[in-house]
Structure formats: C-alpha cells, structure tokens
Amino acid sequence: MSRKSYTPEEYKALLERAMTGDVDAQFDVGECYYYGECVAKDYNQAILWYTHAALSGHAEACFSLGYCYAHGEGVESDSEKAFNYYTKALGNGCIKAARELAYFYHEGRFVAKDDSKAFSLAMQAAEQNDARAENFLGFLCNEGYDNVAPNADKALYWWTRAADHGNEMAMANLSWLYVSGKIPRDEEKRFYWLRKAAENNNSSIQADLGLLLVTGDDPSKHSEGIMWLQKSVANGNAKGQLFLGHCYNEGLGVSVDKREARALYEKSANQGNVDAQINMACFWRDGIGCEKDLTKSFEWYLKAAEQGNVKAQLNVADYYENGKGVQTDKKKAIEWYTKAALQPHEDEWYPQWKVGMLYEYDDIDQAVIWYTKAAENGHVWSQTKLGELYKEGEKVKADYAKALYWLRKAYDQGDTTAKAHIGDCYCRGLGVPEDYAKGMRMMDEACEEADDGHGGSIIEASIRADCVTHLYAKQHGISFEEAYKQIYERTESYKRSRNK
C-alpha cells in the first residue's frame, strides 16, 4: 500500500481530524512525522501519533510501532514490544506483519527459534504477494530448515516470484543461484537479473554488476561495467566508489589514474568502507597519488582497525611498535596485536608470536602463554623458542620434557635451530639418555644444513659452542662462565701462536 502525500493545507486539515479522534488521520500524522512530510522529521512525535491510532486497533499503526521498537527508532529497541505490536497488527489484518514475525522466529529473537513457524508465517504474507516474504521463503528453501532439506528448485520458484514482484534482493539471489551449481548454470539469466535490479536504481547491485562486467573476459562489456559503476557512484554508494577506485588504480576499463583512484577510495572510506580505508592507508604509506605521509596512513589504518579488521589491527600494532607515523608505544602495540590475535583468521600465529615477543623481557609468563598459542598453531619459531626457554631454564623453570616436545615439533618442520638444541640435549643428557656422538652429529648437521655460505649459521654454531663449554665446565668442575673464559683464552693463545 503506497503512502499518501499531503500539501501543507491538506496536512492542516489532517491534523485537525486527528485531534478530534479520527484514527486513520492519527496514523497519517504519525507517517508525516516519520518521513518528515509537511513537518520536520520527528520519530518521537511519530511514535506518539502511532500510539494514539494503535490504541484504537489501527493495524498499520500497530505495524509501524512494531517496526520502531524492532529498530530502535524514536524509542529504545525492545524485541518484546516489537513482537507484541506485530502480533496485534497481524491480528487486525496487516498481513505484512506475518513476514516480520517470521523473521523473529527465524532469528530466535524474543521467541524460541522455530523455522517451521517462520516458514508458515512468511507463507501467509507470500500468499498476498508480499515480495519480501517471497524472498525470505526462497532463502529458507535454499538453506533448508528444521528437518526440511535444501531445495534449490523451490528457492528458484520463490525468488523468481519475488523478483517478478520487484524485490531487488531476490533478483540478486537469482543471479547467484544461476552460477551456484545448484541448478543448471545460465550466464544469460545471471546477468539478466542483475541488470533488472541495477535498472531499479539499486546502487549496491549496480556496483556488483559493474565490477563483474569490468573484470569479465569479454572486453566489449567493460564500458558497460564502468557505466554501472559510475551510476553507483552517482548514487553515493561506498562499494561503487571502492570498485571504481580499483578500476582507476589498476586500469580496468579506464586509463590508470592513481589520483582519481585515491579520490574515490577517500569518498568510500569516509562512508566507513573498511577496504577503502585500508587502501587509503596504503596510498599514504607508499605515496601513491599523493605525497608519502605515515601519519595519515596510520590514521586510516586506525579507522579500519576500530571496525575490527584484522589486517588493519596488525598494521596499527606495527606502527605503534616501530614508531611509524605515531610515537612508539609498546603497550598499545601489544593491545592491537592482542585484538588481532583474539580474532579467527588465516595467520593467527603471527599476532600471537608478536605479543609473545613484546612481553618476553617484561612479563615472561605472558610471553610463554602467547608463544604457546602460536606454537600450537604451527609457528616454528615459537616452537623453537619455547623449547629453548624450557631447556635453558633461565627465564622459566627448566622442563626438559616440554623443551624436547616443542623442539621436536619444530624439528619435524625442518628447523635447524631446533635440531641443534636437540643435539645439545643428547650431548648433555638433558631429558634424554646422554649420547655425545649422536648429539654432536646432530649439531654438526644443523650447522651444515643452515649454511649461509659463510661456514654455517651463527645461531646453530653458537648452540654447539655453548654445548662444548657446558661439557668442559662439567669435566673440570667449574662454572660455565669460567669454562667460557678458559676456552676463550686458549683460543686466543692458539691464534697468537699461529700468527708468529
């Protein structure tokens, strides 16, 4: 049902009728306040007039109150009141309320989740050609619900019906379905439905269609893709601004223009688009289309990080750690690495390892916790580090079983430093039966395998040297430090004698 428009004179007469108790007029005055027609937009006043009408059982007023309470417009969000008003609206004949109640049952909002009930309610609205209800039925059929298996053919039916009734989301869903593999692939229908939605001036779908065409294999479609992206941008869509920025940045359908790309990214970023904010950070960091400015780069990374983007959080942490565009701040670096570490992502070990490193010299217990997390995620360096800490027993209590557990984990991944440490354990009998020959062989192999072209790795060679020093100290009943001193003095004496 379309909303009636009023001239100022008509509104004056409408208000007079509402004041005298005309229920339909009360609802319409509420609509004027809600949409800002003839009066300034005022949700509080809208709620007041909707409530007057709802008290007399006006179905549309009950629905509008339900919507306001569901979305927190003019009132605090209140699922119980929203549900009750939608129920009252449906009972008074407002069929679209069935659709909103279906969403409540599907989401388990205020009521127990019950997709069968949701399907039944949505069906009531769909039978009256409610396009949003039809689209929702398509979603349920595609996903499956309760004990009902997914059914792509039924999803196709409901989405087609919703699309025929003008629902743009259903058009987008159909476009996806035709290339999903759930029904026979049909590229022509895929683009047919996307174009239908784009022609309805849906700026988000205009952006999606534009990018598909620009990045497609058919060069004859690239100009059409740019046209749709430009329409999306003209409609102020952040995604369209981002995608057209990509085109100018990479030369897709247009000539490369880094400044134009940056300008489009900035528009999108200012609307809160995280990807655009990260692109802005990269442009300022690298001086693309602008002068290099790490402070501005940091500011854009921070905006994206505050929205929960892991990549941005890692960069903010790095900037704080290394003083890039902001004063060095170890605590804030730990804070942002920790935020990233607590989120699931592909390289979870990286921020866990970084937090461990930053804690190591101030809070070894926290360092061990985070190194362990990284090690459990397969990070070789953290596995070796834990093994070293437990083996040496200087920063944490020596635990040779734990040391060997982690060193073997790292050794299994080919880490030569871990191999050298294990060799040291065999030489000195740390957690394993003493086996000097095996230990020396492992350390020699580790040095050879880690050869950097200059006689071996410094780390592996130093582990071997320390092992020899420990054995010398044990043999002569002296401290490690005294043993080191004597070996050093003998080595220097030998060098001097050779030079004579």
Residue 31 domain-assigned (yes or no): yes
**pLDDT for residue 457 is more than 80:** no
Domain termination residue (choose one: 51, 72, 94): 94
Number of domains, the chain: 3
- Tokens matching residue 270: 């200012």
The average confidence (pLDDT) of the chain is 94
CATH code: domain of residue 493: 1.25.40
Residue 161 domain-assigned (yes or no): no
What confidence score (pLDDT) does residue 363 get? Answer: 96
* One domain, residues 349 and 394: no
Give CA–CA dist 273/278, Å, rounded: 9
Give the least confident one: 31-45, 237-251, 413-427, 455-469. Answer: 455-469
Q: Tell which residue, 328, 355, 325, has the closest CA to residue 342.
A: 355
Which helix (H) or strand (E) element contains residue 212?
Answer: helix 203-214
Percent of the chain with pLDDT over 90: 90
Question: Long-range contacts of range 384-387, CB-CB < 8 Å, 24 or more positions apart?
Answer: 384/410, 384/415, 384/417, 384/418, 384/421, 385/356, 387/418, 387/421
* One domain, residues 366 and 302: yes
- DSSP-derived secondary structure for 424-451: HHHHHTSSS---HHHHHHHHHHHHHHT-
CATH code: domain of residue 71: 1.25.40.10
What confidence score (pLDDT) does residue 493 get? Answer: 78
- Tokens matching residue 378: 């397969």
pLDDT in tens, 180-229: 999 999 999 999 999 999 999 999 999 999 999 999 999 999 999 999 99
**Separation in Å, CA 434 to CA 169, 427, 428:** 71, 6, 6
pLDDT in tens, 117-141: 999 999 999 999 999 999 999 999 9
Confidence of residue 83 (pLDDT cuts 50, 70, 90): very high
- Tokens matching residue 19: 């004041």
Rg value, the chain, Cα: 34
pLDDT in tens, 312-351: 999 999 999 999 999 999 999 999 999 999 999 889 999 9
Residue 492 domain-assigned (yes or no): yes
What confidence score (pLDDT) does residue 452 get? Answer: 62
* One domain, residues 309 and 344: yes
Domain termination residue (choose one: 325, 350, 370): 370
Confidence of residue 2 (pLDDT cuts 50, 70, 90): low
pLDDT in tens, 147-178: 899 999 999 999 999 999 999 999 999 999 99
Domain residue limits at 79: 1-94
* DSSP assigned state of 148: B
* One domain, residues 3 and 76: yes
Residue 209 domain-assigned (yes or no): no
| Residues 6+ away with beta carbon under 8 Å from 207 | 228, 229, 232, 237, 239, 240, 242, 243
Residue 130 domain-assigned (yes or no): no
Domain termination residue (choose one: 94, 118, 144): 94
Give CA–CA dist 153/137, Å, rounded: 12
Average pLDDT estimate for 43-52: 96
Residue 188 domain-assigned (yes or no): no
